[in-house]
Each structure stands twice: as structure tokens, then as C-alpha cells.
Amino acid sequence: MIHAYCIIFVFQLLSLTGAMESSIVGGKVAKPHSRPYMASLQIYKQHTCGGMLIREDFVLTAAHCKYAEQTTVVLGAHNITKEEKSQQQIEAEYIPHPQYTGKYDYDIMLLKLKKKATLNKYVKTIGLPKKDGKIPANIKCAVAGWGKTGHNRPTSNVLRETKEEIQDSDKCKNIWREYFNPGHMLCTTFTKKEGGICQGDSGGPLICNTKLHGITAFTYSDDCNNPEYPHVFTKIHFFLPWIKEVMQG
């Protein structure tokens, strides 16, 4: 049986550990503040997920990043274990997609910031894709996050990034079966050497041709860096009407 795994850290509030301080497998450390739209979602100063600032008052992320506790969005961060002068910390309200059931489909959520972010060279928004934004297979796309550096591997406190290649949806459906909905999802192939997303990278971006196209959703639970199991992302352009409706209030 295939075990899909929504890549978030599941934790009890009484046992928060440094393992929550999370990073992409392989790849490289991102140039500090080169991705000024990146957000670290934190509970009690512990990183849980990534996200992207799409308007001064909205962050886009995955629905499985919703907790019972209050989330603080940290913008302008590179090293999430330090209180860098560039950082802005803003509390946020969860708005998950109404059809998300806690499984794998409709895994998308907006966070409404309780005050607007101040845009500057460290904090900027990223644009949404066009409605019909199709991505050709075999194109390389960037991923970034503060998630684990590998299966049973230590974590990184700084933002990391790497590239993954868009995989044909039919191949993903053959492997992931009922977990994969080609209408709502994208998937990628990757090499063990270059690596890619892992636990803690949930909610982060898939960026193709400098445009935002996907939200990090899930990997193979036994080993996020097993190339036999494509990584899966929520397809943003399918959800544009819902995103716009929520942001218009």
C-alpha cells in the first residue's frame, strides 16, 4: 500500500522540539531575502509550514497547515531561529478551502493577516498565475522552504531551495492512484542528488518560469527523497476564483 504524507510536522504542544526548526533536501542555501514573498508559519515560535505573501494582507498556504492554535506569520526571514531586523511577525486568521476534508484534495488555505505587511526590500508579494496557466512537462521549477533536509536527517534553520521537474500527470496518477487528482494537482520528478521538498516544506511555492504555480502538498511518507514517488503540489490556477472571492471579502 502506498502511504502519502501531507508534509507538515505533527506535534503535541507539550513536546515541541528543535526538530520543528526546519529545510529542503539537497539543493543549496538561498541567497538571504532573494525570495521576499516567503513566509514561515509559526506556533509558539516553532516553524510548522511555509507560505507565500500574495497581497499585503493575505498569505497562501496548504489547508493541512491549519492547527487549533493561533498561527503567527513571519515575513522577511532567512534564519528562522533568529529575530532578524528584516522580520515582520503578524498574527493571522485561517481560511481553509470549504471542500477540504483533511485528506489530500482541495489542500489550499488563505491566511488573513490581522494587519497589513509593510512591503520593502525584504518583504514583497508574489503574483498569482494566469487562469489558463499551463506548464509543459519536463520544465524545471524552483521549490523553497525550511523543511527537513532528508529522511531521518537533521534540519536547517535557513531558507533552502532546489529545482524539480514537472512530471506528466498520467504518470503521477499511475503511481499515486486515488491520492492524485490531475485537475487540482501538479507533480514533479527529482533526483536523489538534487533532492526537493520534505516534511516542513508544506505550503511553500512551486515556481515555474518565475511564476507561482503550485503549493507544496505531499510526498511519500517513508522517504520524501525517494524518486520513485513524485512530489505533489496543489495546482493554484484551478483555485483562482475561490482565492479572488475570499480576498474580495
Tell me which residues are annotated as active site.
64, 107, 202
Q: Rounded to whole angstroms, how far apart are CA atoms 87 and 80?
A: 9
**Identity of the residue numbered 141:** C
Q: Are strands 71-75 and 88-96 parallel, antiparallel or unpaired?
A: antiparallel
* ∠ Cα 166 227 30 (to 5°): 65
Nearest to 145 by CA among 43, 15, 54, 9: 9
163 contact partners, CB below 8 Å, separation of at least 6: 27, 140, 141, 142, 143, 194
Q: How far apart, in Å, are the Cα atoms of 78 and each of 100, 203, 208, 235?
A: 31, 17, 22, 26
Query: CB neighbours of 189 closer than 8 A, spacing ≥ 6?
Result: 164, 165, 166, 167, 227, 230
What is the number of other CB atoms lying within 10 angstroms of the CB of residue 31?
A: 10
What is the spatial distance between Cα 190 and Cα 219, in angstroms, rounded to a whole number?
12
